[in-house]
Amino acid sequence: MSTVIYAVLFSFLLSTITSLFLIPLFKKLNLGQSIKNGIPISHKKKAGTPTFGGIIFIFSSIITMLFMIKNYNKELLLVISSLIAFGLIGFIDDTLKKIHKKNEGLTSKGKMILLLFVSSIFAIYSYYNPSIGSIIMFPFTKKLLDLRILYIPFIIFYYVSTTNALNLTDGLDGLATSITLLIITFFTFLSFGMGHYTLSISCGCIAGALLGFLRYNCYPAKIIMGDTGSLALGGAIATIAMILKNPFIVIIVGGIYVIEALSSLIQIVFFKLFGKRIFKMAPIHHSFELHGWHETKIVSVFSIITTILCLIGFLSI
């Protein structure tokens, strides 16, 4: 466990230093975000806030992993690959938004195709990897299920759902960072307890990097993670749970992700069917804003809920 702690501290320090260097650079390069129409008016003042912040914790996490972990195994390579592959999709999206001078990046179809492609690679690899295979666990029951060939489409759906849900959660200063930090910390302890020590150190590296990044991402944010960060984190969380053969646990500890995604889905379906909206705005964190909640209150409440969900997650093992 001492190695995990050192990994957290080193990654935190590297993330902090990298933030101090890159934030002014991103400002100088005019890599600020544009604001969509139809979101709370309070967000208009965020226009110009540097994005691409995911680069900070992706870089800090990976460098720390390579420095702290002596024996490079498949678990380490999977986590690093997921951060890079899904982060690259987000980077392309963020870059196109900047080129178009609007908050319009990849089309929904284009992004989905890329997510499906990358997810398919991870699904097929894990299916044929003897240390992962097609067996998954069910929380609370301790029952195992061999999905056989159905494992591949299941994992593809799981990756796409997780990355999109986390992406939707990243709508307030510090929200996605705070929640994901708690979830990654949960996986740090869980993987250590299950004997996946390399994975535990990898999780610790991500947790430390997020902690350093949070200092600049909390309200009022000096930098935003962008799709580069949210998709990378979604891919990493999906990969970590997949390695532990427990993808369903993400539904428990990532309950906020689920609520955010479902609120958007319900809003769209209900509006198309009946021409009315259930929520004032979706994802649901914007609805709370329109009900008078300040960003910091929403982040605090959602973080408390996630902490409780993580404790429930431990009980489910």
Annotated binding site for Mg(2+): 167, 227
Query: How far apart (Å, rounded) are the C-alpha atoms in residues 82 and 122?
Result: 8
The first and second tokens of residue 226, run together, are: 């962008």
Q: Which among 192, 245, 188, 242 has a CA at the least distance from the CA of 211?
A: 188
Query: How far apart (Å, rounded) are the C-alpha atoms in residues 141 and 190?
Result: 17
CB atoms within 10 A of CB 112: 13
Query: How far apart (Å, rounded) are the C-alpha atoms in residues 225 and 94?
Result: 10
DSSP secondary-structure letter at 33? P
CB atoms within 10 A of CB 128: 11
DSSP secondary-structure letter at 137? E
**Measured in whole angstroms, how far is the alpha carbon of residue 289 from the centre of its chain?**
22
**Measured in whole angstroms, how far is the alpha carbon of residue 190 from the centre of its chain?**
18
SS (H, E, C) 288-316: HHHCCCCHHHHHHHHHHHHHHHHHHHHHC
Binding residues: 167, 227
CB atoms within 10 A of CB 47: 11
